[in-house]
């Protein structure tokens, strides 16, 4: 099972919405994923245990080699399908 870390400012509101959309999309594609949410400031200490990082806020920190996808389109709806496809591509290539 692939692991996705979803980060937002407080690790609660927007990351919950994004994580839900990712799980639904991956389920439709037949890919099992586990999503966990965290605060942006906690990413450097947690990211190494995941296959991909998705953020809803500005992030300039270390990803320790973990692929990083900007998740804001999943909140705005503009470019959401492309973002979901990008996440799918990352986790299915690992």
Domain ranges of the chain: 2-64+77-93
- The pTM of the full predicted model, rounded to 2 decimals, is 0.94
Question: Which residue in 8, 22, 87, 90 is the catalytic one?
Answer: 8
Q: CATH homologous superfamily for 2-64+77-93?
A: Response regulator (3.40.50.2300)
Give the pLDDT confidence of 27-45 residue by residue, as tens digits.
999 999 999 999 999 999 9
* Per-residue model confidence (pLDDT) at position 61: 84
Which residues of the chain carry a pLDDT beneath 70?
94
- Cβ(44)–Cβ(60) under 8 Å? no
What pLDDT is attached to residue 60? 87
Question: pLDDT at position 11, please?
Answer: 86
Residue from 2, 1, 10, 17 nearest 53 by CA: 2
- Is-catalytic flag, 12? no
Query: So what's the pLDDT on residue 94?
Result: 60
């Amino acid at each position: 099972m692939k692991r996705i870390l979803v980060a937002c400012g407080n690790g609660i509101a927007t990351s919950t919405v994004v994580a839900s959309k990712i799980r639904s999309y991956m389920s439709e594609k037949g890919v099992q994923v586990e999503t966990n949410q965290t605060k942006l400031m906690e990413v450097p200490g947690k990211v190494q245990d995941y296959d991909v990082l998705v953020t809803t806020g500005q992030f300039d920190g270390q990803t320790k080699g973990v692929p990083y996808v900007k998740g804001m389109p999943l909140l705005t709806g503009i470019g959401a399908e492309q973002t979901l496809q990008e996440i799918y591509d990352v986790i299915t290539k690992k």
